[in-house]
Amino acid sequence: MREAGDAFARLRTLRDAAGRLVASRAFLLRRAPVGALVAAVVIPLVGCDTGPNFWFNKRASACPRPQAAQGVSGQFNQQQQEIRSLRQGGFRGDFFAQLELARRYEGQRAVDKNLEDPVEAAVWYAMALANSGGYAPIAAYERRGKESRAVSRFDDCRAFERRSAYGALDRLLSRMSTEEREKVRNRVIYILSTQSADGFRTLARMHDGYFGPFGEPSDNLQAIEAYGKPSQPGAAAALDLFRRNDVDAYLYNYLAVQTGDVSAYVMLKDFERSSPQRASYGSFVETKAKRWIPPYEFYPPESPDSGVPHSDEADLSGEARESALYRIAELPFVHVGESLSYLRLIPTAVLDEKMLSVTEVQTLQSMIGRPNTGRLSPIEKVRAVQYAAVNGSSKAQLVLAVMYSEGVGVPRDYARAYHWYEEAERQGSAEAKYAMSTFFSLGLQGVADQDRAKAVVYQIDGALAGFKPSAWRLQQLLAQVSRPPRAAGERAPPRPIYGADDYRAAPRAEDRDPRQDQPGSDRGGRPYNEGNY
């Protein structure tokens, strides 16, 4: 009887509540327009990241944007400063700065329409997807049915960000031509290559089939969703940006090891042990790595109609880079002046930095996205030569090649030196032809295989162009091969002896060393032989 009484009591309570609800219906209808108006005003103020996923699933919401990335001003200078700050963070590997850059360049908001640049937007979406700061777990995982979910809401919001980035990148790439996709790929490779071992390891994972499309773990949920299902389309264009290739994966692992990073060495050995076929690529990849150079000399300083340049914010830290940059003072300023003249920033080349006006310096700084200080910094002097070289100046190309050969302004890199010697040689530089002959004669660190036939060809080209060292070496070579055959039993004449300076100019008659006419061993000089040309 007591249970029946309780049931009747609950029934009466429900009936009374329903009656009150019906009675207040008119009140609710009168207040509905006011509530809708309040919602329309309040929801946008909460943030642009709110949406159906936020309303119905509190855990799957976007992460809050960094404070420095908010408050966009319509003024050009303010916008340029914000983009420069975001690019600094993006080059340093800041996950949220990369996402914000991508959204700015995508032109999602009206105030960013002047920045709209699909290629640059795709670059930073790809960088964010490749960033371990977006997928490395912060909290422990707990088992929830068939899937493992993160305990931390911050893990969930980053997953939401990556899922959105996959969709945005796929949408952008699907509208691009092959050439535009190649630009995206090359820019991502360049940015990651400036991050030393960490960047090369990321590139290795992005080409390794044992990882996700952008180097994340293969069981990453966003990576799995990107592959799609029969009932759910994936992100095919995003998946196709970096093709899986064991040779490229091995190459970038090898380049990471060359930076001296210990963990890169461990990763390379794990890569080799993962498959007998992979281990067989060793010698081939080693040769390829010695010739490898980034797709760009520096980040292309292009800009959309907004006039805000795509500045290169690569971190030049590291003992080798800082030491090389300090040595830029050894480069005669006339070479920087000639580069500025080639770029039409000054009317004629100058011999001294003091002869440049503040306006001329600021023009260069604006071109490459540097602060307008009015004084050239060491990196800006390097950029002036690089900028002239990539725009076709044979003189700047030759100077840049020498800078890489000697480690002046830039770290010593024979692969890049060879590249710029080759570019200058294509434009007919006699000095570059002579330098190329040296590369082929000596096979500097595997950059150019020892090929004496090619060395002779370059020497002949240099001699015909009037370059004296090459002309003198060619005369000596012809003297060796055109000598009449010796009779049986005739002694070979003594080999002439040359010093190191003989590579620069032919000796005059009055400077002739009398020891050259005497038989015997080498007395402090260097015997001429076929390996010295």
Which residue is listed with tokens 């916008």? Answer: 79
Q: What is the pLDDT of residues 216-267, one digit of tens each?
A: 999 999 999 999 888 888 899 999 999 999 899 999 999 998 888 888 888 8
Q: Which residues of 299-320 are buried (b: 16+ CB within 10 A; e: fewer)?
A: bbbebbebebbbbbbbeeeeee
- Three-state SS at 477: helix
Query: Which pTM was predicted?
Result: 0.70
Q: Is there a contact between 205 and 223 (Cβ–Cβ < 8 Å)?
A: no
Distance separating alpha carbons of residues 294 and 257, to the nearest angstrom: 16
Q: What is the pLDDT of residues 194-218, one digit of tens each?
A: 998 999 999 999 999 999 999 999 9
Distance separating alpha carbons of residues 123 and 220, to the nearest angstrom: 21
Mean pLDDT of 20-35: 55
Residue 25 is encoded by which pair of tokens? 């219906």
Q: Residue 36 has what pLDDT?
A: 56
Q: What is the pLDDT of residues 325-353, one digit of tens each?
A: 888 888 889 989 999 999 999 999 999 99
Q: Residue 244 has what pLDDT?
A: 92
Q: Is there a contact between 205 and 268 (Cβ–Cβ < 8 Å)?
A: no
Which residue is listed with tokens 């994972």? Answer: 205
**Smallest Cα–Cα separation from 94: which of 68, 61, 138, 131?**
131
In sign, the C-alpha dihedral spanning 213, 218, 221, 225 is positive
Q: Residue 500 has what pLDDT?
A: 38
Distance separating alpha carbons of residues 232 and 209, to the nearest angstrom: 23
Residue 158 has pLDDT above 80, yes or no: yes
Q: Which of 37-41, 249-253, 402-406, 423-427 has the highest mean pLDDT?
A: 249-253
Mean pLDDT of 48-70: 53
- Three-state SS at 143: strand
DSSP string, 494-514: PPPEE-GGGGTSPPPGGG--G
Residue 238 is encoded by which pair of tokens? 């995003």
Residue 296: C-alpha distances to residues 267, 315, 328 (Å) = 26, 16, 21
Distance separating alpha carbons of residues 427 and 389, to the nearest angstrom: 12
For the ranges 170-179, 321-330, 458-467, the lowest mean pLDDT is seen at 458-467
Q: Residue 176 has what pLDDT?
A: 96
DSSP string, 377-414: -HHHHHHHHHHHHHTT-HHHHHHHHHHHHHTSSS---H
Residue 112: C-alpha distances to residues 49, 144, 432 (Å) = 16, 41, 46
Q: What is the pLDDT of residues 351-380, one digit of tens each?
A: 999 899 999 999 998 888 788 888 999 999
**Smallest Cα–Cα separation from 384: which of 402, 398, 408, 367?**
367
Can you give the length of the chain in residues?
533
Residue 1 is encoded by which pair of tokens? 């009887």
434, exposed or middle or buried, with CB in 10 Å at 0-12, 13-18, 19+? buried
Which amino acid is located at 97 in the chain? A
Percent of the chain with pLDDT over 70: 65
Q: What is the pLDDT of residues 276-313, one digit of tens each?
A: 888 788 788 888 888 898 999 999 887 777 778 888 88
Please state the domain extents for the chain: 76-141+149-290, 319-482
Mean pLDDT of 402-417: 85
Residue 415 has pLDDT above 90, yes or no: no
Q: Residue 445 has what pLDDT?
A: 54
Distance separating alpha carbons of residues 257 and 262, to the nearest angstrom: 7
Residue 131: C-alpha distances to residues 65, 128, 188, 270, 353 (Å) = 17, 5, 12, 21, 41
Which amino acid is located at 364 in the chain? L
- Three-state SS at 191: helix
Characterize the bridge pairing of strands 147-150 and 526-527.
unpaired
Q: What is the pLDDT of residues 67-116, one digit of tens each?
A: 554 444 444 578 888 898 899 999 999 999 999 999 999 998 888 888 99
The phi and psi torsions of 191 (rounded to 5 degrees) equal: -60, -45
Which residue is listed with tokens 């080209």? Answer: 461
